Structure formats: C-alpha cells, structure tokens
Amino acid sequence: MTILFDAGEVITAMVTPFTKNGDVDYDMASKLASYLLDNGTDSIIVAGTTGESPTLTNEEEVELLSTVKNAVRNRCKVILSAGSNSTKEAIKYAKMAEKEGADAILSVVPYYNKPSQEGIKAHFGAVAESVKLPVILYNIPSRTGVEIKPETVKYLAEKYENIVAIKQSYPDLDKISEMKDICPENFEIYSGDDSLTLPMLSLGAKGVVSVASHIYGEEIKSMIEDFKSGRVQSALNMHMILYPMFKALFMAPNPVPVKAALSKMGIIMDYVRLPLVILNYEQKAELFAIMDSITIE
C-alpha cells in the first residue's frame, strides 16, 4: 500500500539563481522560494534539471536544500532531486537527502545507459529500500533515452510503500490512462509539462511539476482548482491564455527562458552555468513580446 504524501497540486521545479561570476546566489534562492510560496506554489523541488543539477556540486545541493527549507519554514514540502544513472550514486544521494531533512526525493529514470524494465525495477527498488523518504519517480524519455512503462510503475507502487508518485514528462496520454487503471488509488500522477497539465487532469492527474509557475503560479493554481470544481470552461480559458508561454518557456534549453522571464520581472538575474547560455537579443525580444501579450483579468 502506497503511503500518503501530499505535495499539493502545484510543485515548482525551482531554478537555481547564480551570481554574475557563476556562484550560487543563496540569498536570492531564499527570496525566490518565499516568492514562489506566496504565489501559488504548494511544494518546491530543489536541484532538479530546472535547477541546473548537472552543474551543481553535492555541497551546493545540500546548501540549497537548507536555504529553501529555512525560507519556507515548514509551510510547504521541499523535495530534493536525487536521481542518477548509477544506482549506487542514486542511493547515496537519497540517503543524503534524508539526512539533510528533505521531505521527499525526485528520482529520475536512469539516463544514457538505457536499462531494461527489469533494470528499472531493480534500480528504483534499491533506492526505495535505502530510505524511508517518499520517492517520486521521474519519467522523461526525451532526456533519458528510455521510458518507465505503466506496468513497471504499478509493480513499484505496489511493492514499495514509499514510492508515492510519478512526474510524467511524456506526451502519450494513453500512458496516463493505463497508470490510473492499474496503479494503487492513492498513487499520484503529476504532469511534467505545463502544456499537458489540463489534459492530464482530465485523466486523473493530481497536478503539475511546473516551470511556468515561477511566473504564473496563481493562475496555474486557479486553473487546476477550476477544473476540479467543475468549472471546466474557466480552466480551459486559463490554459489557452497561458499556452503561448507554456511553449515559449522551452524555446531554448530549460531553464534559460524562465530565468530570462524572471529577470524581466526583476526577481532574479538570468545567469546560467555553461554549457547553457543566456538567450540572445532576438530570443529575448520574442519571449518578452509573448509575455507582454498575455492579459489575465
């Protein structure tokens, strides 16, 4: 039986602010976490792909986790992205997350080495058995090169009570129907793509692990609440208003566009770490034009 773990409906995969010289800006990270919590976010993921995890050190990830937890002061769940394509490393990161006080971990399907479904079962089983923390699976075949199939999700959710949810970044909605049909009732599904949130809600998803919530957290929250309250047309209207930005935020590798948008809003600077680079002039003009065209009454 899957344990109950309520991360809410809008989980923001938080960006990692940097200074001009490339250091993590912990003061700005604290302010950003508070801003998100005051603007529609229910839970925060620290050091995920949106947080540029491939270029963060373990020490920086631990400090970010501590910084965000101190900023939100138990008002929301703080989830640490703690996956790896090495099972031994994934276990090490999971134990580190537990030791440092994370409320849960996000663990990605092993990338690049493309394990079989049996390998994926063994990998996540070993991670789940290594900690008592809730584990959220992360399925993103476009980055990992392999998907976790619904029957594998079912196996893991039934066998390990602390495997509680999945972030599904895969535009095959039939997979959502299959998971809802065969997985435990309290196993939660989250859209991993803002543009798929509303369609996935119609198939029983709990909410979204969002990038756009950095900018439109309250609006995304209201869209989800409207849909679940039966105000489907209102939810659809909001989806259509935000849809151009949902797509524009991926005009360049994530999180480059959302950092540019946050910079335009005066919240953080748009610095990123190599191999990512900031938007060029033409890209910024396009992104900002789309932002300026969105009117929410």
E strand or H helix at 80 = strand 77-81
- Angstrom distances, CA of residue 234 to CA of 113, 141, 227, 240, 261: 44, 32, 8, 10, 25
Measuring CA to CA, which residue among 144, 147, 149, 148 is closest to residue 112?
144
Q: What is the mean pLDDT of the chain?
A: 97
pLDDT digits (tens, 9 = 90+) for 105-132: 999 999 999 999 999 999 999 999 999 9
With H, G, I as helix, E, B as strand and everything else as coil, classify residue 227.
helix
Catalytic residues: 138, 167
- Counting every residue written for the chain, the total comes to 297
pLDDT digits (tens, 9 = 90+) for 256-283: 999 999 999 999 999 999 999 999 999 9
- Evaluate if residue 294 carries a pLDDT over 70: yes
The DSSP output letter for 15 is -
Q: What pLDDT does 1 receive? A: 63
Contact 27/8 with Cβ under 8 angstroms?
no
Q: What average pLDDT does the segment 203-212 reach?
A: 98
Q: What average pLDDT does the segment 164-186 reach?
A: 96
Q: What average pLDDT does the segment 226-253 reach?
A: 98
Please state, as a whole number, how many other Cβ atoms lie within 10 Å of the Cβ of residue 84.
18
pLDDT digits (tens, 9 = 90+) for 18-77: 999 999 999 999 999 999 999 999 999 999 999 999 999 999 999 999 999 999 999 999
Contact 146/114 with Cβ under 8 angstroms?
yes
- Evaluate if residue 13 carries a pLDDT over 70: yes
> Structure tokens of 96?
């580190």
Q: What pLDDT does 296 receive? A: 86
Contact 8/76 with Cβ under 8 angstroms?
yes
Q: What average pLDDT does the segment 209-215 reach?
A: 98
Contact 44/11 with Cβ under 8 angstroms?
yes
Cis status of the peptide bond prior to 255, with omega within 30 of 0: yes
- Evaluate if residue 297 carries a pLDDT over 90: no
Q: Which structural domains are found in the chain, ordered by start? A: 10-231 (3.20.20.70)
> Structure tokens of 139?
């399925």
- Evaluate if residue 141 carries a pLDDT over 90: yes
Measuring CA to CA, which residue among 20, 284, 237 is closest to residue 28?
20
Q: How far apart are CA 238 and CA 226, in angstroms?
A: 9
Confidence of residue 284 (pLDDT cuts 50, 70, 90): very high
Phi and psi torsions of 260, nearest 5°? -65, -40
Q: How far apart are CA 46 and CA 286, in angstroms?
A: 28
